Chains A and B, each alone.
Chain A
Amino acid sequence: MKNKIIFLVRLFLTTILVLLSVVTAVFFLIHLVPGDPVLTILGENAGLKEIDGLRQELGLHLPIYEQWSNYVANVFSFDFGESFYYHLPVAPIIFERFLSTLLLAATSFLVAMSVGIPLGIVAALRYRQSWDGFATLLALLGVSVPNFVLGPLLILCFSVQFQLLPIGSKEGLMSLVLPSLTLGLSFAAILTRMSRASVLDVLNEAFITTARAKGISEFRVVFHHILRNAVLPILTTLGLQIGVLLGGAVITEAIFSWPGLGSLLVDSIDRRDYQMLQACVLVVSFTYVGINTLTDALYCFLDPRIRKSA
């Protein structure tokens, strides 16, 4: 119990440190804008008064450490500033978009889990047989076909040719199907590879041979001995791979004009709405860090070996 608490406290502190560094990195993004960010936002013909006004508003007239501490304080009180494009506070807009992205990520994750993990397990259990070859080929295609190719091809097939599914994002649950498939299938390929490798590792362990030698039914060997041990490595790598899913969401949303953070991010770049851009990057990264921290914490509870060594 004591070890567990030490582990969790250390995890918590590390996470805070990482979040702080992420905010700092995102803070410096606006200083990477070539030339003067205020001039870039307002354009060449802006008046002096306007320029000064915006500079004051963005706090760019302050010394850099003061800008930084203001920015950090604001972010941690969920104040992301005001959008230059919408002339509204960024936070409520971001929140609405965030829910949209979360919905897309969740359904894609479900697609990936229900396709990828069974396929990987079957491939490993039928190692070097036709099922394995089939799954490996699918996984190779999955990691090699980017979502900006898969998405349009799915539209061509399901919306244009057979007219089964809507393309746009305003037709309820049905409009969620193609984006989730696009994002989910590439993630499924990663999961297939991961779970295949993980199950293969366990299959080589001596305790599997022992279990079989004892005459335990194959069903019990697979579900009790192999899968129980194979799940943990899948779980840890899963957390890290969620980044692929969140990053991929940006492009997938752009393809289907899904009203999430990703399409907002890309639009904000076009609009030079840097406050919004920074907030989008922050929120997606915070989500990612949060998921990874949760995975680590979960891992500590699931695997007794970790608890002891912590």
Chain B
Amino acid sequence: MNISSLIIVAFSALWIVLLIIFPTDLERIILINLGNILERPSHEYMLGTDDLGRDIFARLISGVRLSLFVAFVVVAFTSIFGTMYGIFAAWFGGGAEILLVKIIDIFLAFPGILLAIALTGILGGGVQNIIIALCSVGWVGFARLARAQTLKVKSLDHLMAAKALGTRIPKVISKHVLPLLAGPLIVEVTFSFAAVILSEAGLSFLGLGIIEPMPSLGGMIRDGALYLLIAPHYIIVTGLALMSLVITLNLLGDKLRDYWDSKSV
């Protein structure tokens, strides 16, 4: 087993254990306790306390839970919608395809996270609006990928044969096209999971994402940056937590891509 597999297994195991074992103790997460603000890690508070005297460890765990929840919902929606959109565009071709591709181009004209920032800025923060904003930005990647892949496999012999035999289109797509797209799509799902976690944290960092007192990685990193001089451990542990999640997902994506590339050759 090489280093990257080891990192993937170790980090995933660590997070699964942490997320399952530690119950969400609302009192520790939300209750403000001005008697012990910005305390160093101690026996009672494993990672110390934040600027309002709340347990950093408990907030971190529940922030990660929320973050994973948002990422799961967003990726589930964007991957399904984007893939259907892309397959539809490539399969039917003609004027419909031109229009559908133009719509993709319009979304691509907004750089990076900018559209999500503008949308959450207008709609307001909160879990629901973050999910709306990230969904409206995220589907485009899947649509482009699915269209490109469908164009590639569209004229394969067994697909032509299925069509010639009069198989209904939904069946051709689900039985013959989707399995051929599965590899690249799974890779994209992994990377976009990491990207959504980062975007959500970015939005919350700017104060546009998850609303206090709900904990979020981005919000905690912002607070940590404010108290950089007094309590450097605050930003370091929250930063490391976010990094470990994203690194694991990115490494997993790389692995899956290598696996898929070697198979398709």
Contact = CB atoms under 8 A, between A and B. Distances in A.
Interface of A: 17-19, 21-22, 25-26, 29-30, 32-34, 140-141, 143-146, 148-149, 151-153, 155-156, 160, 240, 242-248, 250-251, 254-255, 265-266, 268-270, 274, 277, 281, 284-285, 288-289
Contact of B124 (A17, A25, A34, A244): A34
Given A18-B106, A160-B229, A288-B111, A146 B247 contact: no
A240 B208 CA distance: 26
A143 B225 contact: no
Residue with the highest number of chain A CB atoms closer than 10 Å, among B105, B115, B117, B250:
B117
Q: Which of A151, A153, A247 has the most CB of B within 10 A?
A: A247
Could you say which interface size class chain B belongs to?
Answer: 35 or more
A18 B105 CA distance: 7
Contacts of A269: 117, 121-122, 208
Interface of B: 102, 105-106, 108-115, 117-119, 121-124, 194, 198, 201-202, 205-208, 218, 221-222, 224-225, 228-229, 232, 235-236, 239, 242-243, 246-247, 250-251, 254
Given A22-B109, A140-B247, A250-B206, 9 more contacts: A17-B102, A26-B118, A146-B202, A155-B228, A156-B228, A243-B112, A254-B206, A269-B121, A277-B118
19 contacts: A18-B105, A21-B109, A34-B124, A144-B246, A144-B250, A146-B201, A146-B202, A149-B221, A149-B239, A155-B225, A244-B112, A246-B114, A248-B113, A250-B114, A255-B225, A266-B121, A266-B208, A281-B114, A289-B109
Given A148-B218, A288-B109, A156 B232 contact: yes
Contact of A285 (B114, B119, B207): B114
B122 A285 contact: no
A149 B205 CA distance: 10
A144 B247 contact: yes
B112 A18 contact: no
A143 B198 CA distance: 10
Contact of A32 (B123, B194, B208): B123
Contacts of A250: 113-114, 117, 206
Contacts of B201: 146, 148
Nearest to A265: B117
B114 A251 contact: no
Contacts of A149: 221, 235, 239, 242-243
Contacts of A281: 110, 114-115, 118
B251 A140 contact: yes
Contacts of A266: 117, 121, 206-208
Nearest to A266: B206
A281 B111 CA distance: 9
A143 B206 contact: no
A148 B205 contact: yes
A242 B111 CA distance: 8
B194 A144 contact: yes
B45 to A, nearest CB: 22
Contacts of B108: 240, 243
A193 to B, nearest CB: 10
A153 B110 CA distance: 29
A140 B222 CA distance: 23
Contact of A251 (B102, B118, B122, B202): B202
A244 B110 CA distance: 10
Contacts of A240: 108
Contacts of A32: 119, 122-123
A247 B112 CA distance: 5
Given A33-B122, A148-B205, A243-B112, A25 B239 contact: no
Nearest to A37: B122
A241 to B, nearest CB: 9
B17 to A, nearest CB: 21
Given A144-B243, A152-B228, A34 B123 contact: yes
Contacts of A265: 117-118, 121
A29 B122 contact: yes
Q: Which 4 A-B pairs have the closest CB atoms?
A: A247-B112, A243-B111, A269-B121, A149-B239
A144 B194 CA distance: 8
A152 B239 CA distance: 10
A270 B83 CA distance: 36
Contacts of A243: 108, 110-112
Given A34-B124, A247-B114, A251-B205, A143 B250 contact: yes
B198 A146 contact: yes
Contacts of B246: 144-146
B189 to A, nearest CB: 17
Contacts of B242: 146, 149
A104 B235 CA distance: 25
Given A17-B102, A18-B105, A251-B202, A148 B111 contact: no
